[in-house]
């Protein structure tokens, strides 16, 4: 919900938390975090940002006024699909409460998975720059294809949130979504790729492709998917670190 007035109008007497995925998966819808934090503070509400798509290498919500940042470290922070992991960041008082909860209820990382995540952090900044560069190349190429109806990538000037993204991100990330004619065309393309892996996961060094309407958003009703602008012709690519020429060539032969 990018409309800031909608956030403020939704506040009730018992509202305790604003929670948003920024950017959203897979369309890259974003909110001006700094301005939203001003609204949350005015009403005494905590602001939590899911930063899994950009990671701290490309966006730092705490510096923009967020109180809590959530990462699915399974994705880019690990970066190679090796483990399930998550991380929560915030001020000392908030983290003490979360740590107390995790000690009591058990959702804590194993030592081995923690080690894998820490190893992933060693190369995170370099990988995110490379993901972003490859994704930009793919988005520009897709934008010129006659059989592609629309491309969703924050790095394109045509994206409605491009300017906001430039103000609060250092780059645009590795997720590119695009629309073809319909579900039949989407499935034909997805089933025709040879290099990209078909999976709903994202953030790996290997490029992956999926059909959001039947995977990540498959449990929503038709009305809910329509409200989220997830149509049957939408395809999401998590752009990896292979040669971008190879990625483009793979999708090109699948578009035929």
Q: What is the mean pLDDT of residues 137-156?
A: 97
The 3 state secondary structure assigned to 167-203 is HHCCCCCCEEEEECCCHHHHHHHHHHCCCCEECCCCC
Report DSSP state, residue 36.
H
At 112, list the tokens.
């081995």
The number of beta carbons lying within 10 Å of the beta carbon of residue 213 is 20
Q: What percent of the chain has pLDDT over 90?
A: 90
Whole-angstrom distance, CA of residue 51 vs CA of residue 60: 8
Q: Which domains does the chain have, with CATH numbers?
A: 4-121 (3.40.640.10), 124-255 (3.90.1150.10)
The number of beta carbons lying within 10 Å of the beta carbon of residue 92 is 7
Q: How confident is the model at residue 1 (pLDDT cuts 50, 70, 90)?
A: low
Helix and strand numbers, DSSP H then E, in the chain = 10, 9
In sequence order, the β-bridge partners of residue 20 are: 49
The number of beta carbons lying within 10 Å of the beta carbon of residue 90 is 18
Q: In what order do the strands lie in the sheet with 208-210?
A: 150-152, 175-179, 234-238, 208-210, 197-198
In sequence order, the β-bridge partners of residue 135 are: none
Residue that is written with structure tokens 């009730």 in the block: 12
In sequence order, the β-bridge partners of residue 208 are: 197, 238
Task: Give the model confidence (pLDDT) of 171-220 as tens digits.
Answer: 999 999 999 999 999 999 999 999 999 999 999 999 999 999 999 998 99
Whole-angstrom distance, CA of residue 49 vs CA of residue 55: 11
User: Measuring CA to CA, which residue among 78, 62, 51, 58 is closest to residue 135?
Assistant: 58
Query: If DSSP codes are grouped into helix, strand and coil, which group holds residue 85?
Result: coil
Q: Check residue 104 and give its pLDDT.
A: 86
Q: Check residue 107 and give its pLDDT.
A: 83
Task: Give the model confidence (pLDDT) of 88-123 as tens digits.
Answer: 999 999 999 988 888 888 888 889 999 999 999 999
Q: How confident is the model at residue 225 (pLDDT cuts 50, 70, 90)?
A: very high
CB 207 within 8 A of CB 198: no
Whole-angstrom distance, CA of residue 188 vs CA of residue 246: 19
pTM: 0.94
Whole-angstrom distance, CA of residue 131 vs CA of residue 172: 9
């Amino acid at each position: 919900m990018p409309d800031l007035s909608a956030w403020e109008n939704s506040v009730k007497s018992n509202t305790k938390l604003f929670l948003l995925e920024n950017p959203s998966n897979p369309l890259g819808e974003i909110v001006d975090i700094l301005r939203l934090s001003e609204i949350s503070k005015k009403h005494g509400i905590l602001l939590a940002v899911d930063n899994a798509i950009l990671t701290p290498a490309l966006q730092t919500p705490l510096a923009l006024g967020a109180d809590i940042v959530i990462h699915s470290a399974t994705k880019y922070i690990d970066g190679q699909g090796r483990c399930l992991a998550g991380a929560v960041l915030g001020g000392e008082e908030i983290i003490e409460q979360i740590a107390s909860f995790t000690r009591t209820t058990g959702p804590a990382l194993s030592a081995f998975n923690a080690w894998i995540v820490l190893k992933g952090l060693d190369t995170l900044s370099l990988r995110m720059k490379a993901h972003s560069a490859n994704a930009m190349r793919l988005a520009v190429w897709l934008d010129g294809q006659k059989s592609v109806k629309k491309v969703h990538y924050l790095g394109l000037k045509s994206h409605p949130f491009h300017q906001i993204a430039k103000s609060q991100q250092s780059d645009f990330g590795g997720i590119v979504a695009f629309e073809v004619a319909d579900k039949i065309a989407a499935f034909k393309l997805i089933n025709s790729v040879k290099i990209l892996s078909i999976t709903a996961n994202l953030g790996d060094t290997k490029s992956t492709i999926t059909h959001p309407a039947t995977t990540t958003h498959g449990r929503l009703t038709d009305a809910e998917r329509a409200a989220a602008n997830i149509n049957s012709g939408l395809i999401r690519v998590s752009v990896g670190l292979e040669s971008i020429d190879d990625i483009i060539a793979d999708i090109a032969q699948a578009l035929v």
